[in-house]
Amino acid sequence: MGFHFFWHYIGTVKLFIGIVVLLIASVFISQVVHAATTSAVSSSKADPAAVQAQIDQRNKELADIQKQIIENQQKLSETQQQKQTVSSELNNLNTTIRQVDLGISASQISLQKLGLEIGNLQDDLASAQDDFSQKQAAMAAVFQNIQVKDQENPLLAFVGSKSLSDGLQSVQNLVSLNQTLALKALELQESYRVMQNTLTSAQKKKSDKELETENLKNRKIIVAELKDDKTKLLQETKKKESAYQQSLDDLAKRQAEIAAEIDSMESSLRGKIDYKEIPKAGVGILMTPVENPVVTQEHGYTQSARKLYRGKYHNGLDFGAPIGTPIFAAYDGKVVSVANQDLYCRRGAYGKYIAIQHPINLTTLYGHLSLQLVHEGDSVKRGQLIGYSGNTGYATGPHLHFGVYDSSTFYIGPSKSCGPKMPFGGDLNPRDYLSL
């Protein structure tokens, strides 16, 4: 009875080990081979301490630039609160250009840092793959040994032994092999986990590098456009200051008219929102469109809105963001409008904006951009880079205006005071759908 139980135990252990081996063979090894053949891993074999020192230096440089960006942003806010003159606007443009130049420097240093980090991870991945291969070979050897033992009948081997101790030793050897195989399987699994984590980190760094490369290219475009604006303004300085001040008075009247028109239309559309057809408020339904979000104006009847808009109402959420900050789509969707309102009512409304309709009956609006990367009719994915924050349109400083609307009420139509393409809709509080 005891021997029967013992052999049943051995069979159970071997069955368990067989399942482990099958899992490793079908999942672990196939994925590792795929990763190894598609990741183009190369080992720089650089001195890790020296590379880390370079990475630390880049981090220090980035921290210094970030400090300058914050100081420059404060300076920009101060100059925009001063009385507007040709001279102050020119100073404002120079500060803005300086801000984007700092962003370009940050991108260049970030790319150097990411290159170093990717090199380190490639070395780590190569070492992890070597470790995995060694553990895989060791496990295969143990498994092969068990297969040889399996060709022998354990009971006959026991009975045919010269002594009871030899027979028990044969059984113990088989048990030890099974235990060794189980241990090797766990070691192989841990080795795979280390390799997979390293591979994931390398892929994330590669993705970050691709985004930073895109940022660098687009920030150069933004600063070139700002310099064009500066050239135009310098030409305007030939005019008398009195003429410039008259244009500011005209602008203020137009801004008030546009704000009143938007408020009149949207106060009516808010009454038509179909709350049964839109998502219930929930954290994280929409992705926050800017990293490290800082809310500078809330939705609704805010203090700033009472000062700035005739209707005293703010139809979105404002995120403070230096010019050239990446802006991402809040959800999958279709781009339904891309426009630059500054072409027909400069500094009057949303400036350069993007509107995206989502399959969850919501539409999002991204206003005051410096650069748009998508076009009408494009399909976008949640988290896709769509543009960069700016200071276009009616903006008192660089920021992103983020609006959320019930899609059934949203439309792009002509404005009496701001050209052919104005977004209108029943607005919702973006906070109801974001993780803030």
In tens, the pLDDT along 315-325 reads: 999 999 999 99
Please determine, for residue 6, whether its predicted confidence score (pLDDT) is greater than 80. Answer: no
Averaged pLDDT, 310-333: 92
Contacts of residue 156, defined as CB under 8 A and 6 or more positions apart, other chains included, come to none
- Nearest alpha carbon to residue 86 among 251, 234, 254: 234
Q: Amino acid identity, residue 310?
A: R
DSSP for residue 343: G
Please determine, for residue 40, whether its predicted confidence score (pLDDT) is greater than 50. Answer: no
What does the pLDDT read at residue 12? 44
Phi and psi at residue 337, to the nearest 5°: -160, 135
Lowest mean pLDDT across 7-16, 136-145, 213-222: 7-16
What does the pLDDT read at residue 2? 45
Tokens 């252990």: give the residue.
13
Q: What is the pLDDT of residues 42-83, one digit of tens each?
A: 445 668 889 899 999 999 999 999 999 888 888 877 776 666
Rg of the chain over all Cα atoms, to the nearest angstrom? 32
Q: What is the pLDDT of residues 418-431, one digit of tens each?
A: 999 999 999 999 99
Classify each residue of 48-64 as buried b or exposed e, where b means 16 or more C-beta atoms within 10 Å of its C-beta: eeebeebbeebeebbee
Angstrom CA distances, 313 to 22, 182, 259, 349, 419, stand at 63, 67, 9, 14, 22
> How high is the mean pLDDT of the chain?
82
Distance of CA 210 to the CA centre of its chain: 12
CA angle 342, 423, 232 (to 5 degrees): 5
Lowest mean pLDDT across 8-17, 278-287, 333-342: 8-17
Query: Which alpha helices (DSSP H) does 24-85 contain, by range?
Result: 29-38, 48-80
> pTM higher than 0.85 for the full model?
no
Q: What is the pLDDT of residues 232-270, one digit of tens each?
A: 877 766 656 666 677 777 788 888 888 889 988 999 999
Q: How far apart are CA 221 and CA 248, in angstroms?
A: 28
What does the pLDDT read at residue 169? 59
Biggest alpha carbon–alpha carbon distance for the chain: 117
Q: Which structure tokens are listed for 377? A: 């009719």
Q: Would you call 235 helix, strand, or coil by DSSP?
A: helix
Percent of the chain with pLDDT over 70: 77
User: CB of 174 within 8 A of CB of 10?
Assistant: yes
Tokens 């130049």: give the residue.
101
Query: Which alpha helices (DSSP H) does 151-240 contain, by range?
Result: 154-159, 164-236
Angstrom CA distances, 155 to 57, 130, 158, stand at 68, 40, 5
Please determine, for residue 100, whether its predicted confidence score (pLDDT) is greater than 70. Answer: yes
Complete domains list, the chain, with CATH: 2-230 (1.20.1270), 277-432 (2.70.70.10)
